[in-house]
Structure 1
Amino acid sequence: MAKIFIETPRLILREIISEDVERVFLLDSNPDVMKYIGVKPVTKLEESEETIKKIRKQYQENGIARWAVIEKESNLLIGWSGLKLLTESLNGFQNVYELGYRFLPEYWGKGYATESGKAVLDYGFNKMNLGGIYACVDIQNVDSNKILKDKLGFKEQGTFIDDLDNATCYWYELEKVKFNKD
Protein backbone atom coordinates (compact mmCIF):
# COMPACT_ATOMS: atom_id res chain seq x y z
CA MET A 1 0.00 0.00 0.00
CA ALA A 2 1.41 3.37 -1.02
CA LYS A 3 1.76 6.01 1.65
CA ILE A 4 -0.48 9.04 1.01
CA PHE A 5 1.12 12.38 1.76
CA ILE A 6 -1.41 14.94 0.56
CA GLU A 7 -5.04 15.07 -0.41
CA THR A 8 -6.52 18.06 -2.25
CA PRO A 9 -10.10 18.55 -3.46
CA ARG A 10 -9.39 16.69 -6.72
CA LEU A 11 -6.10 14.86 -6.16
CA ILE A 12 -4.23 12.37 -4.01
CA LEU A 13 -0.45 12.67 -3.85
CA ARG A 14 1.18 9.44 -2.75
CA GLU A 15 4.37 7.45 -3.08
CA ILE A 16 5.16 6.11 -6.51
CA ILE A 17 5.11 2.31 -6.31
CA SER A 18 6.14 -0.50 -8.66
CA GLU A 19 2.49 -1.09 -9.63
CA ASP A 20 2.52 2.38 -11.23
CA VAL A 21 4.92 1.25 -13.95
CA GLU A 22 2.45 1.26 -16.86
CA ARG A 23 1.17 4.78 -16.08
CA VAL A 24 4.72 6.07 -15.51
CA PHE A 25 5.69 4.53 -18.85
CA LEU A 26 2.70 6.23 -20.51
CA LEU A 27 3.91 9.55 -19.09
CA ASP A 28 7.64 9.18 -19.79
CA SER A 29 7.22 7.69 -23.28
CA ASN A 30 5.10 10.62 -24.48
CA PRO A 31 7.14 13.02 -26.68
CA ASP A 32 4.90 15.98 -25.75
CA VAL A 33 5.48 15.37 -22.03
CA MET A 34 9.23 14.96 -22.48
CA LYS A 35 9.69 17.87 -24.91
CA TYR A 36 11.29 20.25 -22.39
CA ILE A 37 12.75 17.72 -19.93
CA GLY A 38 16.19 17.28 -21.45
CA VAL A 39 15.95 13.52 -21.96
CA LYS A 40 14.41 11.46 -24.71
CA PRO A 41 11.12 9.62 -24.17
CA VAL A 42 11.56 6.09 -22.88
CA THR A 43 10.82 3.22 -25.24
CA LYS A 44 10.78 0.19 -22.91
CA LEU A 45 8.74 -0.59 -19.82
CA GLU A 46 11.97 -1.62 -18.09
CA GLU A 47 13.17 2.00 -18.28
CA SER A 48 10.14 3.09 -16.26
CA GLU A 49 10.80 0.27 -13.79
CA GLU A 50 14.30 1.72 -13.30
CA THR A 51 12.88 5.23 -12.87
CA ILE A 52 10.56 3.97 -10.14
CA LYS A 53 13.46 2.19 -8.40
CA LYS A 54 15.46 5.44 -8.43
CA ILE A 55 12.53 7.41 -6.99
CA ARG A 56 11.98 4.79 -4.27
CA LYS A 57 15.69 4.98 -3.44
CA GLN A 58 15.33 8.77 -3.04
CA TYR A 59 12.48 8.19 -0.56
CA GLN A 60 14.81 5.99 1.50
CA GLU A 61 17.95 8.12 1.24
CA ASN A 62 16.48 11.64 1.28
CA GLY A 63 13.08 11.18 2.94
CA ILE A 64 11.34 12.69 -0.08
CA ALA A 65 11.03 12.44 -3.86
CA ARG A 66 8.38 13.03 -6.50
CA TRP A 67 4.89 11.69 -5.71
CA ALA A 68 2.29 10.07 -7.92
CA VAL A 69 -0.66 12.36 -8.64
CA ILE A 70 -3.90 10.42 -8.63
CA GLU A 71 -7.06 12.05 -9.97
CA LYS A 72 -9.81 11.19 -7.47
CA GLU A 73 -12.57 11.13 -10.08
CA SER A 74 -10.90 8.48 -12.28
CA ASN A 75 -8.53 6.95 -9.68
CA LEU A 76 -5.81 7.12 -12.35
CA LEU A 77 -2.20 8.24 -12.03
CA ILE A 78 -2.24 11.36 -14.23
CA GLY A 79 1.31 12.51 -13.53
CA TRP A 80 3.68 13.25 -10.71
CA SER A 81 4.51 16.26 -8.59
CA GLY A 82 6.72 16.88 -5.62
CA LEU A 83 10.00 17.90 -4.14
CA LYS A 84 13.37 16.43 -4.92
CA LEU A 85 16.53 16.98 -2.92
CA LEU A 86 19.17 18.01 -5.46
CA THR A 87 22.12 15.93 -4.30
CA GLU A 88 24.14 16.82 -7.39
CA SER A 89 24.84 20.42 -8.36
CA LEU A 90 22.33 22.11 -10.67
CA ASN A 91 23.06 25.69 -11.66
CA GLY A 92 25.58 25.80 -8.82
CA PHE A 93 23.00 24.71 -6.23
CA GLN A 94 23.24 21.50 -4.27
CA ASN A 95 21.37 20.04 -1.29
CA VAL A 96 18.37 22.25 -1.96
CA TYR A 97 14.79 21.20 -2.69
CA GLU A 98 13.35 21.55 -6.17
CA LEU A 99 9.69 21.49 -7.11
CA GLY A 100 8.88 19.51 -10.22
CA TYR A 101 5.79 18.16 -11.93
CA ARG A 102 4.83 16.29 -15.06
CA PHE A 103 1.35 15.43 -16.35
CA LEU A 104 -0.18 13.51 -19.24
CA PRO A 105 -1.33 15.92 -21.99
CA GLU A 106 -5.02 15.11 -21.61
CA TYR A 107 -4.79 16.60 -18.10
CA TRP A 108 -3.04 19.84 -19.13
CA GLY A 109 -4.95 23.09 -18.69
CA LYS A 110 -7.13 21.74 -15.88
CA GLY A 111 -5.23 23.35 -12.99
CA TYR A 112 -3.68 20.11 -11.72
CA ALA A 113 -0.09 21.44 -11.78
CA THR A 114 -1.19 24.46 -9.76
CA GLU A 115 -3.32 22.45 -7.34
CA SER A 116 -0.63 19.85 -6.69
CA GLY A 117 2.13 22.50 -6.69
CA LYS A 118 0.45 24.56 -3.97
CA ALA A 119 -0.10 21.45 -1.86
CA VAL A 120 3.52 20.35 -2.28
CA LEU A 121 4.81 23.83 -1.42
CA ASP A 122 2.60 23.91 1.68
CA TYR A 123 4.01 20.52 2.68
CA GLY A 124 7.60 21.67 2.10
CA PHE A 125 7.24 24.93 3.98
CA ASN A 126 4.94 23.85 6.80
CA LYS A 127 5.66 20.14 7.35
CA MET A 128 9.36 20.10 6.40
CA ASN A 129 9.98 23.68 7.57
CA LEU A 130 12.03 24.57 4.49
CA GLY A 131 13.09 28.20 4.13
CA GLY A 132 13.12 28.16 0.33
CA ILE A 133 12.23 25.93 -2.61
CA TYR A 134 13.65 26.11 -6.13
CA ALA A 135 12.39 25.23 -9.59
CA CYS A 136 13.84 25.29 -13.10
CA VAL A 137 12.10 25.23 -16.45
CA ASP A 138 13.17 25.44 -20.08
CA ILE A 139 12.52 29.03 -21.19
CA GLN A 140 10.53 27.73 -24.16
CA ASN A 141 8.03 25.96 -21.88
CA VAL A 142 5.69 28.95 -21.67
CA ASP A 143 2.87 27.20 -19.79
CA SER A 144 5.07 25.82 -17.04
CA ASN A 145 6.83 29.16 -16.61
CA LYS A 146 3.43 30.85 -16.19
CA ILE A 147 2.40 28.32 -13.57
CA LEU A 148 5.56 28.85 -11.53
CA LYS A 149 5.46 32.66 -11.70
CA ASP A 150 1.79 33.56 -11.92
CA LYS A 151 0.08 30.71 -10.05
CA LEU A 152 2.65 29.55 -7.51
CA GLY A 153 4.50 32.82 -6.82
CA PHE A 154 8.05 31.81 -7.73
CA LYS A 155 10.52 34.60 -8.52
CA GLU A 156 12.87 34.30 -11.47
CA GLN A 157 16.51 34.36 -10.33
CA GLY A 158 18.20 34.16 -13.74
CA THR A 159 18.96 31.70 -16.48
CA PHE A 160 21.41 28.85 -16.93
CA ILE A 161 22.29 26.26 -19.58
CA ASP A 162 21.08 22.75 -18.74
CA ASP A 163 23.87 20.21 -19.24
CA LEU A 164 21.40 17.47 -20.29
CA ASP A 165 20.26 19.10 -23.52
CA ASN A 166 22.07 22.45 -23.72
CA ALA A 167 18.74 24.25 -23.26
CA THR A 168 18.45 27.64 -21.64
CA CYS A 169 16.38 27.40 -18.45
CA TYR A 170 14.93 29.84 -15.96
CA TRP A 171 15.96 29.34 -12.34
CA TYR A 172 13.27 30.18 -9.79
CA GLU A 173 13.09 30.52 -6.04
CA LEU A 174 10.21 30.83 -3.61
CA GLU A 175 10.88 31.75 0.00
CA LYS A 176 8.66 30.50 2.80
CA VAL A 177 7.86 34.05 3.93
CA LYS A 178 6.47 34.83 0.46
CA PHE A 179 4.41 31.64 0.07
CA ASN A 180 0.65 32.09 -0.10
CA LYS A 181 -1.17 28.77 -0.34
CA ASP A 182 -4.45 30.43 -1.31
Structure 2
Amino acid sequence: MNIYIETERLILRKFVEEDYERLFLLDSDPEVMKYIGIAPLTKTEESKEVVKMIMQQYEDNGFGRLAAIEKESGLLVGWSGLKLHIAEINGHQNFYDLGYRFLPETWGKGYAFESGKASLEFGFNDLNADAIYANAHSENIASNKTLTKLGFENKGEFTEPDGICFWYELKKENFKH
Protein backbone atom coordinates (compact mmCIF):
# COMPACT_ATOMS: atom_id res chain seq x y z
CA MET A 1 0.00 0.00 0.00
CA ASN A 2 1.48 3.32 -1.05
CA ILE A 3 0.81 5.87 1.65
CA TYR A 4 1.28 9.56 0.98
CA ILE A 5 -0.86 11.97 2.97
CA GLU A 6 -0.73 15.71 2.50
CA THR A 7 -2.07 18.15 5.08
CA GLU A 8 -1.96 21.93 5.07
CA ARG A 9 1.63 22.09 6.39
CA LEU A 10 2.91 18.51 6.39
CA ILE A 11 3.58 15.58 4.12
CA LEU A 12 3.19 12.18 5.78
CA ARG A 13 5.06 9.51 3.87
CA LYS A 14 6.67 6.16 4.46
CA PHE A 15 10.06 6.20 6.13
CA VAL A 16 13.09 5.53 3.95
CA GLU A 17 16.53 4.43 5.15
CA GLU A 18 17.97 7.93 4.71
CA ASP A 19 15.60 9.28 7.38
CA TYR A 20 17.67 7.80 10.19
CA GLU A 21 19.73 10.96 10.85
CA ARG A 22 16.69 13.20 11.37
CA LEU A 23 15.01 10.44 13.39
CA PHE A 24 18.09 10.33 15.60
CA LEU A 25 17.68 14.06 16.35
CA LEU A 26 14.18 13.29 17.54
CA ASP A 27 14.76 10.08 19.50
CA SER A 28 18.00 11.21 21.15
CA ASP A 29 16.38 14.33 22.65
CA PRO A 30 15.65 13.81 26.38
CA GLU A 31 12.71 16.25 26.28
CA VAL A 32 11.10 14.36 23.40
CA MET A 33 11.57 11.02 25.14
CA LYS A 34 10.55 12.26 28.60
CA TYR A 35 7.11 10.57 28.60
CA ILE A 36 7.80 7.71 26.18
CA GLY A 37 9.08 5.15 28.67
CA ILE A 38 12.30 4.38 26.82
CA ALA A 39 15.72 5.98 27.13
CA PRO A 40 16.87 8.46 24.47
CA LEU A 41 18.97 6.93 21.71
CA THR A 42 22.72 7.45 22.01
CA LYS A 43 23.98 6.19 18.62
CA THR A 44 22.79 6.79 15.07
CA GLU A 45 22.99 3.03 14.51
CA GLU A 46 20.03 2.71 16.88
CA SER A 47 17.91 5.02 14.73
CA LYS A 48 18.83 2.97 11.65
CA GLU A 49 17.34 -0.04 13.44
CA VAL A 50 14.19 1.94 14.31
CA VAL A 51 13.73 2.90 10.65
CA LYS A 52 14.18 -0.75 9.64
CA MET A 53 11.58 -1.81 12.22
CA ILE A 54 9.07 0.75 10.90
CA MET A 55 9.76 -0.32 7.31
CA GLN A 56 9.11 -3.91 8.38
CA GLN A 57 5.67 -2.80 9.62
CA TYR A 58 4.92 -1.67 6.07
CA GLU A 59 5.89 -5.11 4.79
CA ASP A 60 3.97 -7.02 7.46
CA ASN A 61 0.82 -4.89 7.71
CA GLY A 62 0.76 -2.59 4.68
CA PHE A 63 1.11 0.50 6.86
CA GLY A 64 2.96 1.88 9.88
CA ARG A 65 4.19 5.13 11.38
CA LEU A 66 4.89 7.83 8.80
CA ALA A 67 7.66 10.39 8.50
CA ALA A 68 6.28 13.91 8.97
CA ILE A 69 7.91 16.31 6.53
CA GLU A 70 7.40 20.02 7.08
CA LYS A 71 6.42 21.52 3.72
CA GLU A 72 8.00 24.90 4.47
CA SER A 73 11.46 23.53 5.29
CA GLY A 74 11.36 20.17 3.51
CA LEU A 75 12.75 18.55 6.67
CA LEU A 76 11.60 15.55 8.63
CA VAL A 77 10.31 17.12 11.86
CA GLY A 78 8.77 14.05 13.44
CA TRP A 79 6.50 11.14 12.78
CA SER A 80 2.83 10.37 13.08
CA GLY A 81 0.39 7.70 12.14
CA LEU A 82 -1.11 4.35 12.88
CA LYS A 83 0.42 1.01 13.58
CA LEU A 84 -1.10 -2.36 14.23
CA HIS A 85 -0.24 -3.03 17.86
CA ILE A 86 0.22 -6.78 18.18
CA ALA A 87 1.58 -7.00 21.74
CA GLU A 88 -0.83 -6.65 24.64
CA ILE A 89 -1.13 -3.28 26.32
CA ASN A 90 -3.76 -2.44 28.93
CA GLY A 91 -5.57 -5.70 28.19
CA HIS A 92 -5.85 -4.95 24.45
CA GLN A 93 -4.13 -6.74 21.60
CA ASN A 94 -4.19 -6.47 17.78
CA PHE A 95 -5.52 -2.92 17.65
CA TYR A 96 -4.88 0.23 15.62
CA ASP A 97 -2.74 2.63 17.64
CA LEU A 98 -2.32 6.34 16.88
CA GLY A 99 1.03 7.83 17.80
CA TYR A 100 3.07 10.93 17.04
CA ARG A 101 6.38 12.47 18.04
CA PHE A 102 7.82 15.82 16.95
CA LEU A 103 11.01 17.84 17.43
CA PRO A 104 10.76 20.43 20.25
CA GLU A 105 11.22 23.37 17.88
CA THR A 106 7.88 22.42 16.29
CA TRP A 107 5.95 22.06 19.56
CA GLY A 108 2.97 24.39 19.83
CA LYS A 109 2.44 24.53 16.05
CA GLY A 110 -0.40 22.00 16.05
CA TYR A 111 1.45 19.39 14.00
CA ALA A 112 0.36 16.52 16.27
CA PHE A 113 -3.30 17.48 15.80
CA GLU A 114 -2.95 18.11 12.07
CA SER A 115 -1.15 14.84 11.38
CA GLY A 116 -3.28 12.94 13.89
CA LYS A 117 -6.49 13.98 12.15
CA ALA A 118 -5.11 12.93 8.76
CA SER A 119 -4.00 9.60 10.25
CA LEU A 120 -7.45 9.00 11.72
CA GLU A 121 -9.07 9.72 8.35
CA PHE A 122 -6.73 7.15 6.79
CA GLY A 123 -7.56 4.62 9.52
CA PHE A 124 -11.31 4.96 9.34
CA ASN A 125 -11.60 5.45 5.57
CA ASP A 126 -8.78 3.38 4.05
CA LEU A 127 -8.27 0.71 6.71
CA ASN A 128 -11.98 0.65 7.64
CA ALA A 129 -11.11 0.54 11.35
CA ASP A 130 -14.04 0.34 13.77
CA ALA A 131 -11.98 1.92 16.55
CA ILE A 132 -8.54 3.46 17.01
CA TYR A 133 -6.73 3.61 20.33
CA ALA A 134 -4.01 5.77 21.82
CA ASN A 135 -2.31 6.26 25.15
CA ALA A 136 -0.37 9.06 26.75
CA HIS A 137 1.55 9.48 29.98
CA SER A 138 -0.66 11.21 32.54
CA GLU A 139 1.88 14.04 32.93
CA ASN A 140 2.13 14.72 29.19
CA ILE A 141 -0.44 17.52 29.19
CA ALA A 142 0.06 18.50 25.53
CA SER A 143 -0.46 14.97 24.20
CA ASN A 144 -3.51 14.39 26.38
CA LYS A 145 -5.04 17.67 25.15
CA THR A 146 -4.30 16.71 21.53
CA LEU A 147 -5.99 13.32 21.88
CA THR A 148 -9.05 14.90 23.48
CA LYS A 149 -9.21 17.55 20.75
CA LEU A 150 -9.03 14.79 18.12
CA GLY A 151 -12.17 13.28 19.68
CA PHE A 152 -10.67 10.45 21.70
CA GLU A 153 -12.46 9.43 24.87
CA ASN A 154 -10.42 8.69 27.99
CA LYS A 155 -11.35 5.13 28.93
CA GLY A 156 -9.21 4.82 32.05
CA GLU A 157 -5.63 4.47 33.12
CA PHE A 158 -2.96 1.83 33.43
CA THR A 159 0.47 1.68 34.98
CA GLU A 160 3.69 1.50 33.02
CA PRO A 161 7.21 1.34 34.53
CA ASP A 162 7.58 5.12 34.08
CA GLY A 163 4.19 6.05 35.58
CA ILE A 164 0.49 6.21 34.92
CA CYS A 165 -0.80 6.39 31.35
CA PHE A 166 -4.26 7.29 30.12
CA TRP A 167 -5.98 4.94 27.68
CA TYR A 168 -7.99 6.49 24.85
CA GLU A 169 -10.50 5.16 22.34
CA LEU A 170 -12.12 6.73 19.29
CA LYS A 171 -14.89 4.82 17.56
CA LYS A 172 -15.53 5.35 13.87
CA GLU A 173 -19.06 6.65 14.45
CA ASN A 174 -17.73 9.34 16.81
CA PHE A 175 -15.01 10.60 14.46
CA LYS A 176 -15.64 14.12 13.18
CA HIS A 177 -13.96 14.71 9.83
Q: Which residue of 2 aligns with 1:133?
A: 132
Matches within 5 A, 1:12-161: 12-149=11-148, 151-161=149-159
Q: Is the 8 A contact 2:9 2:70 kept in 1?
A: yes
Q: What is the rounded CA distance, in whole Å, between the counterparts of 1:106 and 1:60 in structure 2?
A: 32
Amino acid paired to 2:82: L
Report the TM-score, using the length of structure 2 for normalisation.
0.97
Amino acid paired to 2:34: K
Query: Deviation at 1:64?
Result: 1.4
Amino acid paired to 1:66: R
Amino acid paired to 2:154: E
Query: Deviation at 1:84?
Result: 1.0
Number of positions where the alignment pairs a residue of Structure 1 with one of Structure 2: 176
Report the TM-score, using the length of structure 1 for normalisation.
0.95
Q: Which residue of 1 aligns with 2:176?
A: 180
Q: CA RMSD in A?
A: 0.8
- Secondary structure (helix, strand or coil) at the match of 1:101 reads strand
Query: Deviation at 1:62?
Result: 1.4
Q: Tell me which moved more, 134-143 or 165-174.
A: 165-174
Q: Is the 8 A contact 2:3 2:63 kept in 1?
A: no
Q: What is the rounded CA distance, in whole Å, between the counterparts of 2:145 and 2:51 in structure 1?
A: 28
Q: Is the 8 A contact 1:158 1:170 kept in 2?
A: yes
Q: Is the 8 A contact 2:95 2:132 kept in 1?
A: yes
Query: Deviation at 1:138?
Result: 0.3
Q: Is the 8 A contact 2:64 2:83 kept in 1?
A: yes
Instruction: Give unpaired runs (5+ residues) of structure 1.
Output: none
Amino acid paired to 1:155: E
Q: Is the 8 A contact 1:4 1:12 kept in 2?
A: no
- Secondary structure (helix, strand or coil) at the match of 1:161 reads strand
- Secondary structure (helix, strand or coil) at the match of 1:99 reads strand
Residues 79-112 of structure 1: CA deviation (Å, up to 9, x unaligned) = 0000011111011111000000000000000010
Q: What is the rounded CA distance, in whole Å, between the counterparts of 1:124 and 1:4 in structure 2?
A: 12
Runs of 4+ in 1 over 3 A off after TM superposition: none
Q: Which residue of 2 aligns with 1:168?
A: 164
State the percentage of identical aligned residues: 59
Query: Deviation at 1:166?
Result: 3.7
Instruction: Give unpaired runs (5+ residues) of structure 2.
Output: none
